[in-house]
Amino acid sequence: METIVLASNNAHKIKEFKEILTEYNIVPMAEVGFNEDIEENGTTFVENSKIKTAAISKYLKSKNLDYMVMADDSGLCVDALNGEPGVYSARYAGEHNHQANRDKLLRVMQGVEDRSAKFVCCITLLKPTGELIVAQGEVHGTITTFEDGDTSFGFDCLFHSTELGKTFGNATAEEKNKVSHRGRAIEELKRQLGK
């Protein structure tokens, strides 16, 4: 089984990738000794994802490790906010605070009629040969006016999925994986890998 080093130590994200990309041994970056903070200063999901794969690939080469590297960048894009929070989703209200991010979104969306939004995910996979694969996925829905469901992860309890007819906060992992932006991006990645 081929190993892919995932540019993340986020337990939710690692679990999601392992559940969908079962043909590969998914290893979080900490397991190969990479613990540096990667500055995501790109202006698009693709740029940020590429920055992460490049940083870890460089580290692996310095250790003579020949693994594929995968990174994703994802976020919530709200139509009425011109695509915000977008690439700044995780730090929308400051430093990676899920509750503060949701509170800010609910505040800025007060009284806004158009509540349409989408989650976008861009995955890049960099092979040791230098070949880069880019895959994207989206899921559409609306922003609720209150938190509904599990509040432990990002904007899930504020995002009402059109396809599921409920918030991601109320969806099972299996339901979410079937329609989620990350799930779709992973499926597109698998297609490009011929898996």
Q: Supply the CATH number for residue 33's domain.
A: 3.90.950.10
| Domain containing residue 17 | 3-193
Q: In what order do the strands lie in the sheet with 166-167?
A: 25-28, 3-6, 68-78, 116-126, 132-143, 159-161, 166-167
Given this model, what pLDDT does residue 13 score? 84
Question: Which phi and psi (to 5°) does residue 40 adopt?
Answer: -90, 90
Cα–Cα distances (Å) from 111 to 26, 92, 93, 105, 107, in that order, read 43, 20, 20, 12, 9
What's this model's pTM, rounded to 2 decimal places? 0.89
Given this model, what pLDDT does residue 185 score? 94
Given this model, what pLDDT does residue 73 score? 94
Given this model, what pLDDT does residue 20 score? 82
Given this model, what pLDDT does residue 94 score? 86
Q: Which of 141, 147, 81, 83 is nearest to 112 (CA)?
A: 81
Total domain count, the chain: 1
3-state secondary structure at position 87:
helix
In the predicted model, residues of the chain with pLDDT beneath 70 are none
Question: Is 73 among the residues known to form the active site?
Answer: yes
> Taking the alpha carbons of 37, 32, 73, 164 in that order, is the dihedral positive or negative?
negative
Given this model, what pLDDT does residue 160 score? 98
Q: Which of 101, 48, 114, 172 is nearest to 183 (CA)?
A: 172
Given this model, what pLDDT does residue 54 score? 96
73, 79, 103, 114: the catalytic one is 73
